[in-house]
Amino acid sequence: MTATLITNIGELTTNVERDGDPTGLLRDAAVLVEGSRIAWVGPAADAPAVVSHTTTLGTPTTGETSPVHRDSGHRRQSRGADAVSREDDGGATRVVDAGGRAVIPGFVDSHTHLVFGGDRADEFEARMTGTPYAAGGIRRTVAATRAASDEELRIRLAGFVAELHDQGTTTFEVKTGYGLSVHDEARLARLAAEVTPEVTFLGAHVVPSDYAERRDEYVDLVVGEMLRACAPHSRWIDVFCERGAFAADESRRILAAGVAHGLLPRVHGNQLGPGDGVRLAVAAGAASVDHCTYLDDADVAALAGSDTVATLLPGVEFSTRQPYPDARRLIDAGVTVALASDCNPGSSFTSSMPLMIALAVREMGMTPAEAVWAATAGGARALRRDDVGVIEPGRRADLVLLGAPTRVHLAYRPGVPLIDRVFKDGVARA
């Protein structure tokens, strides 16, 4: 089994609560990875003794003031992500000298719509010059997606997966919802399942134009034949409960049908205005209700008394010029908050979790620590995953070495590539 000791970590976000800090921050830390799992976490000075070759990542390129310790002798100098580890023949532990960098869990992006065809840059451009966002734009992507071959969609999806990884995202969810026919929803679910176990059936994204005058028939299709075709490839059932999409009674019926087929519920709600999405999600025991931009006090109280995560998607507000959700109000009420990208071609065509963190801090009243937690452990909660989002023995070795001495830089240096190295299941890729 391969083993890697990452040492000389200036600041380690573990997300294992410690002394009242939910992010369990450790300074001058080390992490031992064995195979795909984390084996040990603690102060660098107490790290298990290993026979090793050392890779030194050098000083974080952006961290002039970082504490960089030079206390081990066996190293070679190299810089940043160009560093390449050497492994010896005897199965010795590889040592990665983080050079004082901050290390965080890999991002968990619990909400994306990455299987689609076409492009809506023209719509974005029009919106930025005064045309308001309307949910109907989804139908354009539906037409382009239906016209795309499996191979075209697969190649595009692979590009997005690489893009996510390069930005430090190690777990992600993908929704269907741009097929909206039995055949197309099933192939989107199948394609998504090729790249992630977190596949969500979202046949109830909008009523497609071919059913515009027959919405009851469309809901019958979603809960019947379409659900049967998609359930084998999916873990989740989702519904866009919003004016212009699906009403509360339709949404309830759709979630219940998914649950009856063994899927777990999650909801898009309260994005464009006040509505029933949050209370419906809580009543259904949904893992997450996503958007949560327009909430009344009863919505906040319902969330606070539940296991349902409020997943905030600030890329949407950024890209549609809408008011941001009030994260501070939710956190102060005791609600568990996650951040996700909602990457999709209409309302948020970014997959950058560092951007979500920067927006959450700048626009939504979250502290940098809360935002990093929400983008890692919060996303894991929203996907009901206990193997990711946390750095402690036994969890998956999904880690990000930042090109910065602290995680604060993710919000402090928006738009700057700060992901130096990503470990996914213990395997490092620059």
Contacting positions for Zn ion (CB under 5 A): 342
> Of 50, 64, 69, 58, which is closest to residue 10 (Cα–Cα)?
69
Our CB check for Zn ion shows the closer of 277 and 426 to be 277
The residues pairing with 169 across neighbouring beta strands, listed in sequence order, are 107
Minimum CB–partner distance for residue 315 and Zn ion (Å): 10
Minimum CB–partner distance for residue 172 and Zn ion (Å): 13
- Are 115 and 157 spatial neighbours (Cβ–Cβ below 8 Å)? yes
Minimum CB–partner distance for residue 252 and Zn ion (Å): 19
Assigned token pair, 159: 């590009």
CA distance linking residue 377 with residue 391, whole number of Å: 10
Strand, helix or coil at 300? helix
Cβ contacts of residue 91 below 8 Å, gap of 6+?
1, 2, 3
Our CB check for Zn ion shows the closer of 276 and 342 to be 342
Assigned token pair, 430: 């620059």
Our CB check for Zn ion shows the closer of 242 and 342 to be 342
CA dihedral 73, 76, 81, 82 (to 10 degrees): 180
Our CB check for Zn ion shows the closer of 29 and 108 to be 108
Assigned token pair, 301: 């109280």
CA distance linking residue 106 with residue 401, whole number of Å: 9
Our CB check for Zn ion shows the closer of 250 and 342 to be 342
Our CB check for Zn ion shows the closer of 37 and 140 to be 140
Q: Annotate 55-83 with DSSP letters as a single string.
A: EE--S-TT-TT-------S------GGG-
Our CB check for Zn ion shows the closer of 25 and 142 to be 142
Q: Annotate 214-244 with DSSP letters as a single string.
A: -HHHHHHHIIIIIHHHHGGG-SEEEEEESTT
Minimum CB–partner distance for residue 111 and Zn ion (Å): 6
Minimum CB–partner distance for residue 134 and Zn ion (Å): 15
- Are 135 and 206 spatial neighbours (Cβ–Cβ below 8 Å)? yes
Minimum CB–partner distance for residue 380 and Zn ion (Å): 18
Minimum CB–partner distance for residue 342 and Zn ion (Å): 5
Minimum CB–partner distance for residue 400 and Zn ion (Å): 24
Our CB check for Zn ion shows the closer of 299 and 342 to be 342
CA distance linking residue 167 with residue 313, whole number of Å: 17
